[in-house]
Structure 1
Amino acid sequence: MQRSMTRPGNHVMKSYETYAAMLFRIAVVHLGSREDAEEATQDTFIKLMEKAPVFQDDEHQKAWLIRVITNHCYTLLGRGWRKREVKLDGAEPIAAGAPEDTALLHLVMALPAKYKTVIHLYYYEDYRVQEISSILQISESAVKMRLQRGRQLLKLDLEGAEPQ
């Protein structure tokens, strides 16, 4: 594999400037905490520096970064200490703009991880089904099914009904 002859940190800085905000939003949706999202974003860029993969193009790099942060969030959510974590009263909620947007974001964050991931990538990051399929390494029909089921769960939550 051939690597570019630029200084080692240049590609990471460019990547950080380009993708950090998006990766942070993905992590917030998964983890629900600004601090945890910042840590996950930082860990993703550390992995980029350590692995120094060679990418075919910018889209390949973007997909790789999304996959890394998504996997990292799943790992963090599965750790025992996180399950025993106590939320602080009065902690600053994550601002999403209008109160309706904040309420919807909280509902999305409360979805099971497999639904929240596709909902976020589709509606908040504007990815197409085919792109989500490639990023998450699942079939397009699985993406469509998760979108459908995620929407159903959100609809039930918005209507105040219990799932059957």
Structure 2
Amino acid sequence: MDVNLKNTPSEIDRLIDKYKSTVYGIAIARLGSKADADDVFQEVFLAAYRKGITVKDNDEEKFWLIRTTLNQCKKITLSSWRRRTVPLEERKEEVSFFRSREENDVFCAVTELPEKYRMVVYLYYFEEVSTDEIAEIMKVRSGTVRMQLTRAREMLKEKLKGGYFYE
């Protein structure tokens, strides 16, 4: 195992402090499971430790972490173990990731979107990443990202209609 020794525990702690909500939020939005999100969180920061990612002001590290998080999520969803298992009829885990009820309601509605819309909405609204940056991270055109956001907004409007926000 090749480990980059330029990262110290305090450097990794600063990296985790700065990006923990980004990595965990993407993982839970993508996978819908706290246990799977915990696994992704651990793998992403272990990879950052091995690579020697440090806390800087530029967005390069953030984008690397987002891309690595998406790749780890993809590994989990494509794993042969997961394909061979049949999930039990289980209730949706209650998400209390945010402080206010409104944010949690919106986040829950976002997690119910189809996968291709879920990540662009999360990155754009919750992580405040621009459409051009999302396109670069997800390796699609900017126009595709903007169209997915438009369609996702319509779906969210329908999901939230008559609920907490439209009373």
Q: CA deviation at 1:102?
A: 2.9
2:60 maps to 60
Please say which of residues 5-14 and 93-102 is displaced more in the overlay: 5-14
**Identical aligned pairs, as a percentage?**
29
Aligned partner of 2:137 in structure 1 is 135
Q: What displacement does 1:55 show? A: 9.6
Q: Within 5 Å, which residues of 2 pair with 1:38-117?
A: 38-52=38-52, 58-82=58-82, 84-86=86-88, 88=90, 93-95=94-96, 96-117=98-119
- Residue type of the alignment partner of 1:15: L
Q: Give the TM-score, by structure 2 length.
A: 0.77
Q: Give the aligned CA root-mean-square deviation in angstroms.
A: 2.9
Give the C-alpha shift of residue 100 in structure 1: 4.0
Q: Which runs of 5+ in 1 are unaligned?
A: none
Any conservation in 1 of the 2:23–2:41 contact (CA below 8 Å)? yes
Judging changes above 3 Å, is the alpha-carbon distance between structure 1 residues 57 and 99 closer, same or farther for their aligned structure 2 residues? closer
Q: Distance in 2 between matches of 1:46 and 1:22?
A: 16
Which residue of 1 is the match for residue 151 of structure 2? Answer: 149
How many residues were matched structurally?
156
The equivalent residue for 1:24 is 24
Question: What is the distance in 1 between the residues matched to 2:131 and 2:64?
Answer: 17
Deviations 1:85-106 (A, max 9, x none): 33655x8511144444333222
- Judged with a 3 Å threshold, the aligned counterparts in structure 2 of structure 1 residues 80 and 54 are, in CA distance, closer, same or farther, namely same
CA distance in 2, matches of 1:104, 1:54: 32
* Runs of at least 5 residues in structure 2 that lack an aligned partner in the other structure: 163-167
TM-score under structure 1 normalisation? 0.78
Aligned residue for 2:23, secondary structure, equals: helix
CA distance in 2: counterparts of 1:140 and 1:9, whole angstroms: 38
